[in-house]
Amino acid sequence: MPRDNDCASFSRCLLRWYQEHRRELPWREHITPYKTLIAEIMLQQTRVEAVIPLFREFIQAFPTITDLAAATEEQVLSLWQGLGYYSRARRLHQTARIIAEEHGGKIPQSRQVLLNLPGIGAYTAAAIRSIAFGCRETAVDGNLLRIGSRVFLVQDSIQKSSVRQSIAAAFDKLIPSEQAGDFNQALMDLGSSLCIPRNPRCGQCPVRVFCRAYQESTPGTLPNRGRVNRPKQVTVSVMLIQTQEALLMRQRHSGTFLQGMWELPWFEGSLTVDAADQTTAAEGAANDEQQWLQNAAFPILPHQIWTTDYMFTHRHWTIHVFHYEMEQPFRVTNRFPQRHYRWQPQDQLSALALPTVFKKILQQR
Ligand code: SF4
């Protein structure tokens, strides 16, 4: 843990470096609570480079929280395409509506009120409070835990909440009462440019004289992440069923993975194609919905079959794509409570908010 007389020097060195090396980012130009809120939600689990262009488009479409509150969910999801994790967009939209209705369109400063809003956890609340309102509060995420485990030479696993709390407490001593937002943003930049996961660039680091791992150990071996969970392997079959004019799409309702998004129909497991009797069958007994789709689409053989894969954060999909070209669309049913099917005109596909995995499959056809 830092000695008291090191604290002021640590933040001075860090802030001086930040002044010269800070990343120019659109949400750092004319900082407002609204822009900070949008950026922090977008940056949850998405890289800065991917966020920059979408942030600009989003702010252009919804310049204020009341504009966002007044938008439809479809409009919000459509502008969220490319960022993934669409539940964030839905929660942000709910938050905007609550702020517009209950807080007069002003982003609240209170930690407790922020934490009660959908999609805002401890890190995001601290980032908003420090960056937009100047509150002295450390925003603790994976970046900060990595830097902290090195600066304070913490060799215990950061999976333990006691370890995370002690790193946060140590940073709480370092954060200055002035420029708390800059301090947090400086740590974010340090974590993305110098104190990176592998091979940290300690030679250029502004706080190396305070860093115990640099002085006494091997920084690249920290943090200790404990046991890492491997992504779950899942095999899925995707039905790409189209006519010349339209593509069969479905929307998943709430309470399911990728809820609310439009997608190509897919099922867990493998399908097999029997060329002899010209049918496609699901392995094991199909559920009602799968059975309906089989009966409707499978009298013909797929035009093409290929295999691809896609990595989500916690699951890895091996995807068998069954591509059907039909003369005429068949009648869709909407008797399945969790699904809504429709034939979407080919030239209006961009109007639907599609998860990246399905966009990639459509690009491959
Ligand atoms: S000296 Fe190296 S390990 Fe320590 S904070 Fe700087 S970059 Fe990270």
Q: What CATH number did the domain enclosing 176 receive?
A: 1.10.340.30
Confidence of residue 3 (pLDDT cuts 50, 70, 90): low
| Residue 317 placed within a domain | yes
Q: Which pLDDT score, from 0 to 100, does residue 108 have?
A: 97
| Residue 107 placed within a domain | yes
Q: In testing the pocket of ligand 1, which one of 144, 145, 193, 195 has its CB within 8 Å of the most ligand atoms?
A: 195
161 and 91 within one domain: yes
| Residue 147 placed within a domain | yes
The answer, yes or no, to whether residue 280 has pLDDT greater than 70, is no
236 and 215 within one domain: no
26: which residues sit within 8 A by CB, 6+ positions away?
Answer: 35, 39, 52, 55, 56, 59
Q: In testing the pocket of ligand 1, which one of 202, 209, 216, 218 has its CB within 8 Å of the most ligand atoms?
A: 202
Confidence of residue 284 (pLDDT cuts 50, 70, 90): very low
Q: Which pLDDT score, from 0 to 100, does residue 69 have?
A: 98
pLDDT in tens, 187-207: 999 999 999 999 999 999 999
251 and 130 within one domain: no
| Residue 227 placed within a domain | no
Q: Which of 191, 221, 251 is the last residue of a domain?
A: 221
Nearest CA to ligand 1 atom 4: 211
pLDDT in tens, 291-337: 777 777 666 677 778 888 898 878 899 999 988 888 888 888 777 76
- How far is C-alpha 77 from the geometric centre of its chain's CA atoms? 13
35 and 148 within one domain: yes
236 and 212 within one domain: no
The number of the ligand 1 atom at minimal distance from the alpha carbon of 206 is 6
Total domains, the chain: 2
Residue 78's domain comprises: 4-221
- Which is more confidently placed, 343 or 268? 343
Q: Check pocket membership of 213 for ligand 1, CB cut-off 6 A.
A: yes
- Which is more confidently placed, 20 or 269? 20
- Which is more confidently placed, 125 or 289? 125
260 and 213 within one domain: no
Single out the catalytic residue among 20, 29, 40, 74. Answer: 40
Q: How far is the CA of 185 from the centre of ligand 1 (A)?
A: 16
What predicted TM-score, i.e. pTM, was given to this entire model? 0.68
159 and 263 within one domain: no
206 and 351 within one domain: no
| Residue 300 placed within a domain | yes
pLDDT in tens, 166-189: 999 999 999 999 999 999 999 999
DSSP designation for 349: G
Residue 116 tokens read as 């009660």
243 and 341 within one domain: yes
295 and 209 within one domain: no
Q: How far apart are the C-alpha atoms of 322 and 301, rounded to whole Å?
A: 9
Q: Which of 174, 190, 221 is the last residue of a domain?
A: 221
Nearest CA to ligand 1 atom 3: 219
Confidence of residue 261 (pLDDT cuts 50, 70, 90): confident
Nearest CA to ligand 1 atom 8: 195
Q: How far apart are the C-alpha atoms of 99 and 66, rounded to whole Å?
A: 8
210 and 266 within one domain: no
Q: Which of 167, 201, 221 is the last residue of a domain?
A: 221
Q: How far apart are the C-alpha atoms of 237 and 321, rounded to whole Å?
A: 6
**What is the secondary structure of 236-295 as a DSSP string?**
EEEEEEE-SSEEEEEEE-TTSTTTT-EE--EEES-EEEETTTTEEEESS---HHHHHHHH
Confidence of residue 350 (pLDDT cuts 50, 70, 90): confident
| Residue 226 placed within a domain | no
Looking up residue 326, the CATH number of its domain turns out to be: 3.90.79.10
Q: How far apart are the C-alpha atoms of 319 and 237, rounded to whole Å?
A: 6
| Residue 96 placed within a domain | yes
190 and 312 within one domain: no
